[in-house]
Every structure is written in structure tokens, then in C-alpha cells.
């Protein structure tokens, strides 16, 4: 069977950046393991969507598989609408949006089915079933449209228990060297799945409740090192980013991994960490293994708001202490921040500016809140009519614009706060850094980058790293 993956990555990276989708990569790998053929149609701009017809004609897929979160679903629906009814081609949607908002199946013309939860076994069973001209009526994790039965809702399957049982991801599907090059010679890697925390703005807690089994799982150290060795032999890169949410949650795993990593890989790396997990012992292991930067989520600077609205129970003193420990260990630190939460005001946002200013992180990002279906904050937005249904989703720049319309924090004020955040954080400590961030987050950044192409990489590197 031939499976064409369609990945919309519109208005997400900016300035020429490319991304690798870990989910599509592993799905392609398991399909190829079963002797199916795969191909990728990577959509980085709306203007590219029309070329899918040429791709379909040349590849002649039996299955077209889409993945989407809620920021991309409008583009997926638009593509499906343009495709209409394809003869002898099965259309499937997976990912966070399909899993947490499965009603999208009934609402989306041209879509035959959705995959709920982890899709490796569901997709391979579907491909095998269609290859044998058998009905896919009992495949767990699959909801599909039936002329006789309407929407058929099969039960979920459990989480994959053993990540070591999966093949190496299919990196070539994405022309992975181009992805690395676009991220300043940095390779991204994940060796775990799931997160045990319950932040109200994140889709992960809802995903963890939908399937049976352990949600938080790690590869073995040996398995992770083996795949990293493969990547080291195949691609050119200078650093590695471990994109796992909870890389540092298991002290024993970190200790064992760092020892093996230093011996077998020995490439500078950066990773995410929770401030509650930071300790001198942990930092010692990471530093010795070659860690040069740790990313930690602040999200909001008001302690009471962070605890009650976001369900992030760390104190400001813990946050300040964690960043200080990281810096004192000789590792750079980066903060994650969000603006535009429901119930937030401009005055509350000032606390996020002040906390970052006092920490003075080496790098940071400030995103605009997006209400993802399945999250507690999405429900709050719905109950309070905060979501502006009149806004054109195709004009929303993912994580840099808002679809909320709140009486105490207007959409325009939220966007201004996000664009000015970096300048206000750094203006007293480094005016040069503040001005570069000011340009990067301005509404004219993309246009300026096109006019000043030689400066594009410097500005993007300075702002993002």
C-alpha cells in the first residue's frame, strides 16, 4: 500500500525554519517495516496547498494521512475540501486535534476516518486491512464513516508499553539534513513519551487519560544511544536538543544516560526541565555529559495565578532558585512564557515581565496562549464566550496571535504584550539584545528579513536561542 502523509506546518516556524514531526516519522518507519510505501507532502505555506493534486497524481496513494493540532486543522479541512471525493483513496486524520475533538470527523467533508491516540498499530492494521480488501470495522483506535452505520466508533487501544520495540524513526522522509541545517546545525531527538503533570493549558493531560497503560514511558538507555549513534553516522550536526517534556524526571535514568552519552555520543546538548527537578546532583550529571543549556517553563510570573489557573504549583522562589543553580553550574538557561490566558489582565502579565527581568535568562520565548480542545482552559474559554468565532483562522499566526476576545485583556493588547515582552525584559540588562528581540517579534519581522537576507540567520539565531 502507498501512504501519503500530509503535514501542514503553516505559520509556525518563521524565517525559513523547518520542523520534523516525530509522530509522522515513526508512523512511516513502522509502515515501511511492514513493506508499505510512504511519501511526505510538507506544506509550509498556504500557497503550497494547491500542489497536493500533483503529488497525488504522481504517487497515486491508497491512503492519505493528515496530522494536526488545533492551530492547523483549518488548513487540513481546506485541503480536504479541495480534494473532494477521491476514488480508491482512503483519507485519515490523526494527531492531538482528532484525538481530543473527534467530532471533527462528522464536521469535515472528504474525511473518511480519524485515528485516536497513538497510531502505530492502528495505521499499520488499517493499511494491511485495505491491502487485503477487508473491512476495517474492528480496528481499535479508528473512527470511520459508514453509509449504513453512520460514524463507527471503535474503542481505544492501550498505550505502546515498550518504546524499544519500535523501529528507528524515518528521518529521510523529511530530508532531515535540511531540517538540521535550518535549525543552526541542531538535531532534535525524543526518547520518551507522556508527561505526568496536569497543566491546564496543555493537551498532554487529556491525552494521557484516554488510553490504558502507562502514559509516561522512556526508551532504554541502550536503545536511545543506538538511535543517536545512527543519527551521528548519517547526518551533520553540532548540537542536540532533547525535546522531551520530562527528560529529567527520573534521576537514575539521567545518571545512566549521561554516562553512556558522554562515552558514546559526546556532542553538546540542551534539554527541557521542570524547575522542581533541578538539583546540584542533576546539574552535575548534565554538565559532565555536555549539556550547555536548560529550558524551563515559567509560563506566568504571578504565583497565585500560576497555581490556581494554570495548576503549576511551583513558588516564585523555586523558579528563581532553579535558574540561579543552573547558571551557577555553568549551564545557560532559557525560559518559556505565555501571555493571553483566560482571566489574565495586562496588570497580571506585568508580573511575568518582572520575574523574567529579575532572572535575566540567557534566552527565552513568549508565546500567545492557544485554547486547545480537551484542556481545562479551553472549557473555561467556551463557558465564558472568550473565543472570537468571527476571527479568520487563516490570518492567525500560530502562537503569535490570539482568537480570544476578553473584556479585561483585548486581543490587540495581548499581541502588543507579546511583541514588547522581550524588549521590556532585557532593556536594562542588554539594550542590544532588547533591540534585536524587538525587531524579531515585530509585526514587520518577516518583511524585514526578506529585505535584509544576510542578517536573517543572525537575528533568528539571536532571538530563538
Q: Are 366 and 421 in contact (CB under 8 A)?
A: yes
pLDDT of residue 14: 59
In a domain, 444, yes or no: no
* Same domain assignment for residues 419 and 274: yes
* Same domain assignment for residues 364 and 422: yes
In a domain, 160, yes or no: no
pLDDT of residue 441: 81
Find, among 235, 253, 256, the residue nearest to 244 by Cα.
253
Question: CB under 8 Å to 450, separation ≥6 — which residues?
Answer: none
Q: How far apart are CA 160 and CA 253, in angstroms?
A: 20
Question: CB under 8 Å to 366, separation ≥6 — which residues?
Answer: 337, 338, 339, 352, 418, 421, 422, 441
Which set of grid coordinates corresponds to residue 5?
502523509
Distances (CA, A) of 451 to 419, 444, 458: 20, 11, 14
Listed residues 133, 153, 173: the one ending a domain: 153
- Give me the sheet containing 90-94, strands edge to edge: 37-43, 2-8, 63-67, 90-94, 113-115, 142-146, 150-153
Listed residues 399, 414, 429: the one ending a domain: 429
Q: Are 85 and 358 in contact (CB under 8 A)?
A: no
| CA angle (176 as vertex; 171, 182 as ends), nearest 5 | 150
Instruction: Give 409's DSSP letter.
Output: B
How many domains, in total, are found in the chain?
Answer: 2
In a domain, 111, yes or no: yes
Q: Are 409 and 344 in contact (CB under 8 A)?
A: yes
**Beta-bridge partner residues of 333:** 294
Q: How far apart are CA 365 and CA 352, in angstroms?
A: 12
pLDDT of residue 447: 59
* Same domain assignment for residues 130 and 255: no
pTM of the model: 0.93
Distances (CA, A) of 387 to 12, 74, 201, 310, 392: 21, 16, 15, 18, 12
Q: Are 179 and 235 in contact (CB under 8 A)?
A: no
* Same domain assignment for residues 198 and 136: no
* Same domain assignment for residues 246 and 365: yes
Listed residues 111, 131, 153: the one ending a domain: 153
* Same domain assignment for residues 214 and 92: no
Instruction: Give 212's DSSP letter.
Output: S
* Same domain assignment for residues 202 and 59: no
**φ and ψ at 90, to 5 degrees?**
-100, 125
Q: What is the CB neighbour count within 10 angstroms for residue 416?
A: 14
Q: How far apart are CA 209 and CA 212, in angstroms?
A: 8
**Beta-bridge partner residues of 92:** 65, 113
Find, among 398, 403, 439, the residue nearest to 419 by Cα.
439
Q: What is the number of residues in the chain?
A: 465
In a domain, 450, yes or no: no
* Same domain assignment for residues 193 and 138: no
Distances (CA, A) of 356 to 77, 338, 363: 39, 12, 10
Q: Are 296 and 334 in contact (CB under 8 A)?
A: yes
454 CB-side CA count, 13 A: 0
Residue 215, domain CATH:
3.20.20.70
Helices H / strands E in the chain, number of each:
19, 15
pLDDT of residue 402: 93
Q: What is the CB neighbour count within 10 angstroms for residue 119?
A: 25
* Same domain assignment for residues 223 and 134: no
In a domain, 131, yes or no: yes
* Same domain assignment for residues 138 and 50: yes
Q: Are 460 and 17 in contact (CB under 8 A)?
A: yes
In a domain, 170, yes or no: no
Find, among 454, 459, 421, the residue nearest to 440 by Cα.
459
pLDDT of residue 94: 98
Distances (CA, A) of 280 to 113, 260, 321, 324: 49, 20, 11, 11
In a domain, 210, yes or no: yes
What's the burial of 111, exposed, middle or buried (CB within 10 Å: 0-12/13-18/19+)?
buried
* Same domain assignment for residues 307 and 224: yes
Residue 29, domain CATH:
3.40.50.280
Distances (CA, A) of 169 to 120, 166, 365, 371: 12, 8, 28, 30
Residues of the chain where predicted confidence (pLDDT) is lower than 70: 13-16, 133-135, 392-399, 443-465
Write down the residue that cell numbers 525535546 correspond to: 243
Full residue range of the structural domain in which residue 231 is found: 184-429
Q: How far apart are CA 269 and CA 221, in angstroms?
A: 16
pLDDT of residue 13: 58
* Same domain assignment for residues 334 and 383: yes
Q: How far apart are CA 201 and CA 31, in angstroms?
A: 33
Q: Are 166 and 29 in contact (CB under 8 A)?
A: yes
| DSSP run (H or E) holding 259 | helix 251-264
In a domain, 403, yes or no: yes
Amino acid at each position: 500500500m502507498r501512504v501519503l502523509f500530509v503535514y501542514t506546518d503553516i505559520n509556525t516556524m518563521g524565517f525559513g525554519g523547518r520542523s520534523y514531526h516525530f509522530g509522522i516519522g515513526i508512523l512511516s518507519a513502522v509502515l515501511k517495516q511492514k513493506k508499505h510505501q510512504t511519501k511526505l507532502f510538507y506544506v509550509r505555506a498556504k500557497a503550497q496547498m494547491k500542489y497536493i493534486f500533483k503529488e497525488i497524481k504522481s504517487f497515486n496513494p491508497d491512503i492519505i494521512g493528515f496530522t494536526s493540532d488545533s492551530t492547523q486543522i483549518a488548513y487540513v479541512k481546506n485541503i480536504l475540501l479541495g480534494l473532494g471525493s477521491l476514488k480508491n483513496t482512503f483519507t485519515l486524520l490523526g494527531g492531538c486535534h482528532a484525538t481530543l475533538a473527534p467530532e471533527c470527523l462528522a464536521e469535515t467533508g472528504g474525511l473518511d476516518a480519524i485515528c485516536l491516540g497513538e497510531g502505530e498499530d492502528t495505521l499499520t492494521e488499517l493499511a494491511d486491512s485495505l491491502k487485503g480488501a477487508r473491512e476495517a470495522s474492528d480496528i481499535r483506535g479508528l473512527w470511520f464513516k459508514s453509509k449504513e452505520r453512520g460514524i463507527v466508533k471503535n474503542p481505544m487501544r492501550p498505550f505502546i508499553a515498550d518504546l524499544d520495540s519500535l523501529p528507528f524513526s524515518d528521518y529521510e522522509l523529511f530530508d532531515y539534513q535540511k531540517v538540521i541545517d535550518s535549525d543552526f546545525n541542531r538535531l532534535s531527538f525524543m526518547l520518551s513519551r507522556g508527561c505526568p503533570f496536569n497543566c491546564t493549558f496543555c493537551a498532554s493531560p487529556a491525552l494521557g487519560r484516554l488510553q490504558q497503560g502507562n502514559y509516561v514511558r522512556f526508551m532504554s538507555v541502550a536503545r536511545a544511544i543506538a538511535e543517536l549513534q545512527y543519527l551521528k553516522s548519517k547526518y551533520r550536526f553540532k548540537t542536540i536538543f532533547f525535546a522531551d517534556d520530562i527528560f529529567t524526571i527520573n534521576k537514575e535514568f539521567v545518571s545512566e544516560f549521561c554516562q553512556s552519552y558522554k562515552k558514546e555520543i559526546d556532542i553538546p546538548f540542551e534539554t527541557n526541565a521542570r524547575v522542581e527537578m533541578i538539583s546540584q546532583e542533576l546539574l552535575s550529571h548534565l554538565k559532565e555529559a555536555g549539556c550547555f543549556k536548560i529550558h524551563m517553563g515559567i509560563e506566568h510570573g504571578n504565583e497565585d495565578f500560576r497555581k490556581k489557573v494554570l495548576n503549576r504549583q511551583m513558588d516564585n522562589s523555586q523558579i528563581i532558585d532553579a535558574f540561579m543553580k543552573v547558571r551557577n553550574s555553568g549551564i545557560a538557561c532559557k525560559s518559556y512564557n505565555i501571555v493571553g490566558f483566560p482571566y489574565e489582565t495586562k496588570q497580571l502579565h506585568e508580573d511575568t515581565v518582572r520575574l523574567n527581568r529579575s532572572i535575566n535568562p540567557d534566552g527565552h520565548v513568549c508565546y500567545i496562549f492557544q485554547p486547545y480542545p480537551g484542556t481545562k482552559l479551553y472549557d473555561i474559554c467556551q463557558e465564558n464566550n472568550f473565543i472570537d468565532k468571527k476571527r479568520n483562522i487563516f490570518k492567525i499566526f500560530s502562537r503569535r496571535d490570539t482568537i480570544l476576545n476578553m473584556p479585561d485583556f483585548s486581543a490587540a493588547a495581548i499581541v502588543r504584550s507579546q511583541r514588547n515582552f522581550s524588549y521590556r525584559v532585557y532593556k536594562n540588562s542588554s539594550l542590544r539584545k532588547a533591540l534585536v528581540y524587538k525587531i524579531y517579534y515585530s509585526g514587520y519581522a518577516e518583511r524585514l528579513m526578506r529585505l535584509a537576507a544576510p542578517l536573517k540567520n543572525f537575528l533568528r539565531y539571536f532571538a530563538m536561542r
